[in-house]
Amino acid sequence: MFLRIFKGTGPGVIFLIFVTLVAVWINALLHPHVSPDVIYETQPMPLYGLLKMLVNNHQSLGVILAFLMVSVLSILLVYFNTSVFFINERTFLPALFYILIGGLFPEFQVLNPVLPATIFLILSIIRIMDGYHITGTAYSFFDAGILIGMGSLFYANLIWFGLLLIIAIILLRTGNLKELVISLAGLLTPFLITFGIYYVAGKDVGSLSKLFGADLFSKTAGYQFSRLNTGAIVFYCVLILISVVQLLKYVNSKKIKSRKTFSLLIWTFLITALVYILIPSVSVEMIWLTGIPVSYLFANYFLSVKKKLVPEILFFLVFLFIILIQVLHH
């Protein structure tokens, strides 16, 4: 019953999702706290540094901006499926799951560079898929490269998603060398412009290189997982595995473009996992990036599974873990 309500597409579902968003963020909005002491806060990338300057240490304003960014991301997630239609149904579930996943770590429900970077990543994925079946050179890959490059000027570790451009060209365009070159040119363009601005303004260009290197490779303090956090992560990982198995069972019944889209999303998830494991400066703030592919996998599972009782229980547990985490953190 609970799941069936959220499977709908009427105005009432939109209202319920908005209520869920407010409920997940109410503690952060009413009791804003200081951002975690991590490398991207002490040595912010240029665009995030500019954003912090505009906020001017007003914690409440920062949380409101973060809340608005999650709202924008939720809308973009729904728009992407509506435009490509790879889940095979019009649904608001990706937005719901993204909101819930973002509540796993309340400490990161503050203004942070990962949120604007995530907006640029989803826009990049949308532009990548715009290049599907284009005859001639798909210049949308140049746009996608620029978007990832701009996002990296907020959160340096988004640069690793440049790998997604190469993977996408292989998946969608059979390894077009020209498109590979223009996508990498797009990726570098925001950095070249930023270096140019630094040079013209008389700032130390070398300091920008050092800043980028520090944000990529400095070791950050590890996150201390509580038992509840650990249990929630284990449950979500099991649900991801179940969702992938469910996808593989029915993937051949989907259109080719839908299969390519899910392949791209799975690669996005794998890159987030590898970056989290291998890059020393990365912590659980990556949940905002990981939430993109996971939200779609969850939505596809709950819409395609034929059983009734098990999905209802799993869907309830998705909510329950977030409620417990938010309440106990407060």
Number of domains in the chain: 1
Task: Say whether 134 sits in a helix, a strand or coil.
Answer: coil
Residue 50 belongs to domain spanning: 2-329
Is 204 buried (19+), middle (13-18) or exposed (0-12) by CB count in 10 A?
exposed
Tell me: the pLDDT tens digits for 265-302?
Answer: 999 999 999 999 999 999 999 999 999 999 999 999 99
* DSSP string for 230-260: HHHHHHHHHHHHHHHHHHHHHGGGS-HHHHH
Residue 213 predicted with pLDDT over 70:
yes
What is the Cα–Cα distance from 10 to 327, expressed in whole angstroms?
29
CA angle 284–78–329, rounded 5-degree value: 35
* 56-60, 92-96, 191-195, 316-320: least confident range: 56-60
Instruction: Return the closest-CA partner of residue 86 out of 114, 59, 126.
Output: 126
Q: What global pTM score does this model have?
A: 0.95
